[in-house]
Structure formats: C-alpha cells, structure tokens
Structure 1
Amino acid sequence: MSRRRTDGQKRVRIWMFVNVFLLASLTALVMHTSSRLDTAAANAATGHASTAAGPAINVPGGAALPANVPSKAQIMATSGKYFGVAEPDMPWSANAGSQIAQTAGTPPDMVEYFVNWTQDFSVVPVQDAYAQGMLPVLTWEPSPGGNARTTQVNFPEYKLSTIIDGSHDAYIAKFADAVRDAKWVVAIRFAHEMNGNWYPWAEGVNGNTTGQYAQAWRHIHDIFTREHADNVIWVWAPNIIRSAKTPLKELYPGDAYVDWVGLSAYDVTEHTAPQLIDPTLQQIRKFTSKPMLITEIGSQPGSFKAAWTTDFLTWLPKQSGVIGFIWFEYTKAEGAGTDWGFDADTSTLASFRLGIEPMKLVVLPLQ
C-alpha cells in the first residue's frame, strides 16, 4: 500500500471523526436548548405565573454551578435572614435576577416559582437558582394550574381524597425520584394557603372534608421518604387568618412532617407588620415552634406603602423565629391582583433599600 494512499485514508478517518464529534455536539446543544425551552414554557403556565409571558432561558450569566452541593442539614443550619423573590422570569433568567439585585441594592438569596400537577419536576430552575446563589422554593400545586384570581375550585380529579387513596401515587413517586436524583436541596411549599377557600385543595371545597389536608400531606411526605428523597425542606404555608377561616391547628400535619412554617401575608388594611402578621403567628405558636418563612409578602399601592415597608423591615430582624421573606414581585399585568412589588414606586423602593441594606442575610454554603 502506498504512503500517499495511507495518508489519504488517515485524512478521511480524521475528517469522519471531526464530523461525528461536531454532529454529536450540535445534537447535545439542540437537546439542551429544547429542554430549557420546554421547561420555561411549562413554568410560564404554572401557578401565579400563568398569565405572564414565558420566562427567558438565559444561562445564568455564563456561571457554572457551584462546586459544593450542600446538604439539607447545612442549609438549615445557616444564619441570617432570607431575602427571597417571586418574579415571573426567575430563576430562569439571570438578567431578571441581576435586575432585582440592582434594584434592591443587594442580591436575593432565595427564589420562589410554581409547578402544578400536570408538570414533572425539572432540575433546570433548581440549577439556575443555585448558579445565582439562591435557594429554590418550589410551590407545588395539586391542580391543573391557574392562580388565585382564575383557578377553578372544583377539580374532582384533584380532590384531597384522590391523593389519600393513592390515585396520584405514580406521579408523586416520579416527582420524588427526580428531586432525589437532582441532589440539590429544594424547599417544597405544597398546597399553600390551604386555610382559605380559593384553591381546590382547601377543606370545605371540591368535596374535601375536615382532616383530609393533613392526611394528604403525610401521604405525600411518606412517599418521598420511601423514595429516599431526603433533599427536601418541607414548607407548610397557610394564609394569614384575616381572610381565611379554617382553624390552622387542624390543618397541621405534625412537626415530624414539616421543616419550616410558611405564610402568605399581604398588607391591605393593616399598615404595620405586627397588625398584619402577629395574630396568625400567635395562633401558629400554640402548636409548633418550627422556623417561619414568610413565603409571600407585599403591600398594595397607596400612601402608606413606603411606611409599611419600613415597618416590616424594622420588625423582621427582631423576630428570632422568622427566618426571612419572599417578596411577591408580580404586577397586575403579570397576573397579580395589584402591583405588590417593593419597586412599585420610588418612595417604597427607597424604604426597601434602606431596610434591607443593614440586614444580615443568609449566604448559602456553596463553596
């Protein structure tokens, strides 16, 4: 065989190898981008984000995931307060996260997003959150989706009894397995504001009866335990008692099934933090001392909004049992009832920046 022919064959083999490599790389890129698009589109239709445009799918600032995957124990042992945000494009868009950090004067260390029961668990928003230094809080809604202003209450296929009797076990186990395999810790706020009457998982609506909420919670928790999905911080999160009548104690699944207590608290007529939060906090403290995270908070527009923001951020550092808050940065155009954001007007933003600046915030153990 001649040297020329041998050299030619080598060039052909090299050419083929390079093309195979390029094709494989292109295929992987297309599949990754498709996955992000699917996840973004799905999450845009979830929970409070159901009426907002689909979130951007930027890779977080080109940043790689942190080298350290912290354990649940490590995260729960952190000190300081959480400054969290629920915002339509977060955690998918690093641009949105950067804008919030710039506006607030400090970056958030927690982000909340919404997933309904027509959707599987995706690791993408979890990784996006950690790449930006934020703990993900996944609000998991046993319904086909919608929000507090549009969700139908009657969905018989999602009655609490269908969770208890195992009708959804396959979905729940699949979700738990995906959470476990993701390895990153996820805070799951399951079926929030259950003491109201505006969601299909509340007792007294959709055929649900007294005692079923706590039973359904324990059933789901038991499946996660069976599947060894131990990287979950379980957040039991009612609404403040002002507009919700079901007694909280009967809805509580027990300390063995809860890590943090959450709370939705929106200022409407109570223009100080104690007026808004203390009555509910006092009722909760009668049956549990678990740390509290205010999982949705905001103040409606008005002349009192800036002063209320100052009062809340003065009240929070004094509360040893309240570990932080998630501000609801949705506007009326994005599906909220009104513009709850801390940046809704210049006076409120100034109050927020002055209040958050001296606060000792959580730093996740990611290094």
Structure 2
Amino acid sequence: MMHTSYVHGLGVRLLLLTSAVALLLVGLTPPPADAAAMVTLSSTSGPAGTSVTVTGAGFPKKTQGTLVTGTTSVTITTTGAGAFQSAITATGSGDLTITATAGGVSAAARFTVVAPVPTPTTTKAIRFGVGTAGGPAANGELDEVAALAGEAPSMVLSYKDFNQPAPIAELNAVRARGADTLLTWEPWTWGGGTQQPAYALDRITAGDFDAYLRQWGQALGQWGQPVYLRFAHEMNGDWYPWAEGVNGNGAGDYAAAYQHVHDVVESTGATNISWVWNPNVPYWGSTPLPQLYPGAEYVDFVALDGYNWGTSQSWSSWQEPSNLFGDGLAQLRQLAPGKPIVIAETSSSELGGSKAQWISNLVGYLSAQPDVVALVWFHINKEADWRINSTTSSADAFRSALATRR
C-alpha cells in the first residue's frame, strides 16, 4: 500500500507538470490561417463585350492560375503577397460567374450582362452634351443638368491623362444613361505643367507609349460601343505640353504624334472609335491649324473649344458667338471639307454683358450652321462661373434656347 505523503507529492508534481505543459502550449498556439481568397470586379454589370478588371487577394503566393468566365479564360500569376489583377471580357447574357483559381484555391464573383442602352433618338440635329466637375459617373450632377436643360444630355464629356486606363466603368455609366462619351485623352501627367519631356511629341511618335496605346485600343475595342475620342485637344494654344513650341516640340510634331497614336490604337481592331480633332478657336499668335491637321483619313469629326470670357480676366473682353466661332468654323471647313463639326467645350462668363442673351445668340448662331452636329456645355465653376445656372436668367435662357435649336 502506497504511503499517503508519497501520493500527495506525486499529485502535486503532476499538477505542476500539467500547468507547465499548458503554458507551453499557449506559447505555441499556431498563427491564424490566411484570409480566404476573394476577388472583386471593376464593374458588376455592363453590356456584352465589357472588359472587366478582376482584382484577387488571399491566393497562394507566386502561383500561376486561370481566370475564367463562360468559354473565356486568361492566365494569371499571383504576386508574393498572393494577389493579382487581370482583365477578362464578359460575353454571353444574364448572370455570369467570373472564377479565379490558383494552386487549388478558387474564388468567384458575379457579373451581369445587360442589353446595351441605345442612344436616344431626337428630332434635333444638334446634339446636346455636357461636362461637369464630377465627370461621367456623377449621376447627381448629370440629373441636375437634365432638369436645368429640359432634356438629358446625349453626350458626356470626360478627361483622362496618360497614367490612367481606359475608363470602361465610366463608359458603362454614360451608356446606361442612353448617352455617348466624348473622351478627352491627354498625353501628360495632370498637374505637371507644360514642361514634361517624357511626353514630348517626338517620344510619342518614337513609340515610347505604344504598349499603353494598345491597352487603350484593346479595352475600347472590347467594350464595343460608340466612343468619341479627342486626343490632345487645344493643340494650337500654348498651355499644354503637346503644343508645338512648348516642351521641346517643333513644327510638324503634333500631326506626326496624332497619326502615330491613331495608327497604334486602330491596329488593335477597335472599330467603334470616332476620332475627334479639336483645336481651340484660333486667336492672334496661335499655331496655324494647317500645320496641325493630321489629314482626312485620321479624323472623323473636327471640333472647336471656345469661351466668352467677358471681362472676367484682365486680358479679356465680351465676344458674341459669331465673333468667337466664325473664323474657326471657316478654317475648319477649308481644312476638312465635309467633316461634321462639334463645339466640344463652350460657355460664357456673366461679366461684361448678358449671359442669358449670349446663350440665346449662341444657339441661334449654331443652328444656322448646317455642319455643326453637337454643342457641349462646360458646366463647371472654374476660372469663371461657366455653369448653366450661374444665374436664374441664364438657366431660363438655356432651357428655352435649347428647345428651339435646329
């Protein structure tokens, strides 16, 4: 029979040993498992042919895999952090499942293919377009414009620099409103000023940006709906780095760069792009337009930007629409006979005259120009209050004039 004191000592030792093992196990608790794999989409709906950017995380690291929807498959490779980003084209109809798989790990997300919204028909020969501060995804601003104008704009102006991908989600947003995008593509880095040697015109022509140009062409072509692309607008001024006489650019460089961009984008098979060549209204000292024109085969529409600055600036004075646009329209017709004309940016200051009357005069003047096919209003409070509703009288005049246009 075991002695009572021995049993007691053994129990104490077992208790201490158990406690020590428990403490050791606490210290050796394994780290939590990696987060589950997941994918997110740049847009969750759009017409067939939409290019969807898929971003994934939580997959095995540095592993090759696939991204699949329907019969379409692309190869992906994850980073050292187990992430990836790739584009895939949504085809078919209804709800699609987009699935990413790498190293036996999968994640999926839903994309809905919707019927493309047709561009609204109108009895007006001059289309009404607008640019707002928030851009094409700012539905509230566009709704406000529609209420002010008495009709929804059928063109929406937008801007991208050479650091951004083709804005497919924004194009879808505009299309969902029954409108088309007038997409301004600017070869520079926003905010960098006019001296940006990396974007000198001869660097564009030399092919420095060809891979990027092809990405845009492929994305726009896969999207498949109409898009009006105005590359490097207002080139006859001196306020952008793609102007001749600025940023090391010489005579003839602009047309050569425009032709090169056109050719590279077209080489991707993007047949849904209408090319818009868009100078500012000519002024004393501006670069002559013939020096900048790339040729009829490179241009589908010609355009003008022109603002009535009134007396808002120390150098400006009030200009009636015929004085503002008359010379530029005449030059476009001589340089590009038969091409349809777009007024791609315009507005008036309130200072120096009656903006309400100016609006009425503008619409009347443009209605008398049979080759003008669109009027795009710059609805932004910027250097001046260019908005339709800068005053109640201007807003009333805009609505009335628009209703009577050709």
Distance in 2, matches of 1:119 and 1:173, equals 13
Distance in 2, matches of 1:243 and 1:258, equals 25
| Structure 1 position 283 matched with structure 2 position 328 | no
**Residue 174 of structure 2 aligns to which amino acid in structure 1?**
A
In the TM superposition, what whole-angstrom CA distance separates every residue of 1:253-312 from its partner, at most 9, and x where no partner exists? 001000001111001234321111001111222211211101100001223211111100
- What is the SS of the residue equivalent to 1:171? helix
| Structure 1 position 254 matched with structure 2 position 323 | no
- CA-CA distance at 1:98 after TM superposition: 1.2
**Residue 346 of structure 1 aligns to which amino acid in structure 2?**
T
| Structure 1 position 339 matched with structure 2 position 389 | no
| Structure 1 position 301 matched with structure 2 position 350 | yes
- CA-CA distance at 1:130 after TM superposition: 0.9
- What is the SS of the residue equivalent to 1:285? helix
**Residue 278 of structure 1 aligns to which amino acid in structure 2?**
G
Partner of 2:32: none
Partner of 2:6: none
- CA-CA distance at 1:31 after TM superposition: 7.6
Normalising to structure 2: TM-score of the pair? Answer: 0.68
RMSD: 2.8
- What is the SS of the residue equivalent to 1:199? coil
**Residue 115 of structure 2 aligns to which amino acid in structure 1?**
A
- CA-CA distance at 1:90 after TM superposition: 3.3
Distance in 1, matches of 2:43 and 2:132, equals 27
* Inter-CA distance 204–232: structure 2 relative to 1 (3 Å threshold): same
- CA-CA distance at 1:156 after TM superposition: 0.3
Given that 2:379 and 2:388 are in contact with CA atoms closer than 8 Å, whether structure 1 keeps it comes out as yes
Partner of 2:369: 319
Distance in 1, matches of 2:371 and 2:43, equals 45
Structure-to-structure mapping, 1:48-127, within 5 angstroms: 67-68=115-116, 80-127=125-172
**Residue 397 of structure 2 aligns to which amino acid in structure 1?**
S
Given that 1:197 and 1:244 are in contact with CA atoms closer than 8 Å, whether structure 2 keeps it comes out as no
- What is the SS of the residue equivalent to 2:396? helix
**Residue 352 of structure 1 aligns to which amino acid in structure 2?**
F
In percent, how many aligned pairs have the same letter? Answer: 35
Partner of 1:242: 283
Partner of 1:273: 321
Normalising to structure 1: TM-score of the pair? Answer: 0.75
Higher relative contact order (CA 8 A, sep 6+): 1
**Residue 126 of structure 2 aligns to which amino acid in structure 1?**
K
- What is the SS of the residue equivalent to 2:288? coil
| Structure 1 position 292 matched with structure 2 position 341 | yes
- CA-CA distance at 1:347 after TM superposition: 1.2
In the TM superposition, what whole-angstrom CA distance separates every residue of 1:232-261 from its partner, at most 9, and x where no partner exists? 110000001126510001100001000001
Partner of 1:196: 237
Partner of 1:152: 193
- What is the SS of the residue equivalent to 1:249? helix
Given that 2:355 and 2:394 are in contact with CA atoms closer than 8 Å, whether structure 1 keeps it comes out as yes
* Inter-CA distance 139–68: structure 2 relative to 1 (3 Å threshold): same
| Structure 1 position 129 matched with structure 2 position 177 | no
Q: Which has the higher strand share?
A: 2
* Inter-CA distance 92–168: structure 2 relative to 1 (3 Å threshold): same
Given that 1:69 and 1:184 are in contact with CA atoms closer than 8 Å, whether structure 2 keeps it comes out as no
In the comparison of the two structures, how many residue pairs are matched? 299
Given that 1:211 and 1:250 are in contact with CA atoms closer than 8 Å, whether structure 2 keeps it comes out as yes
Given that 1:66 and 1:131 are in contact with CA atoms closer than 8 Å, whether structure 2 keeps it comes out as no
Given that 2:302 and 2:340 are in contact with CA atoms closer than 8 Å, whether structure 1 keeps it comes out as yes
* Inter-CA distance 113–207: structure 2 relative to 1 (3 Å threshold): same
- What is the SS of the residue equivalent to 2:255? helix
In the TM superposition, what whole-angstrom CA distance separates every residue of 1:303-339 from its partner, at most 9, and x where no partner exists? 32111111001112211111111100111xxxx2111
- CA-CA distance at 1:101 after TM superposition: 0.5
Partner of 1:310: 360
Greater than 6 Å deviation, 4+ residue runs: none
Given that 2:116 and 2:176 are in contact with CA atoms closer than 8 Å, whether structure 1 keeps it comes out as no
Given that 1:316 and 1:324 are in contact with CA atoms closer than 8 Å, whether structure 2 keeps it comes out as no
2:379 maps to which of 329, 335, 342: 329
1:163 maps to which of 197, 201, 204: 204
Distance in 1, matches of 2:42 and 2:232, equals 35
* Inter-CA distance 174–358: structure 2 relative to 1 (3 Å threshold): same
- CA-CA distance at 1:65 after TM superposition: 8.4
Given that 1:238 and 1:264 are in contact with CA atoms closer than 8 Å, whether structure 2 keeps it comes out as yes
- What is the SS of the residue equivalent to 1:178? helix
Which deviates more, 255-264 or 303-312? 303-312
- CA-CA distance at 1:93 after TM superposition: 2.5
**Residue 332 of structure 2 aligns to which amino acid in structure 1?**
I
Distance in 2, matches of 1:315 and 1:212, equals 34
Distance in 2, matches of 1:30 and 1:313, equals 39
| Structure 2: runs of 5+ lacking an equivalent | 1-35, 46-51, 56-111, 310-316
- What is the SS of the residue equivalent to 1:219? helix
- CA-CA distance at 1:198 after TM superposition: 0.5
- CA-CA distance at 1:343 after TM superposition: 1.2
- CA-CA distance at 1:140 after TM superposition: 0.2
- Name which one, 1 or 2, has greater alpha-carbon Rg: 2
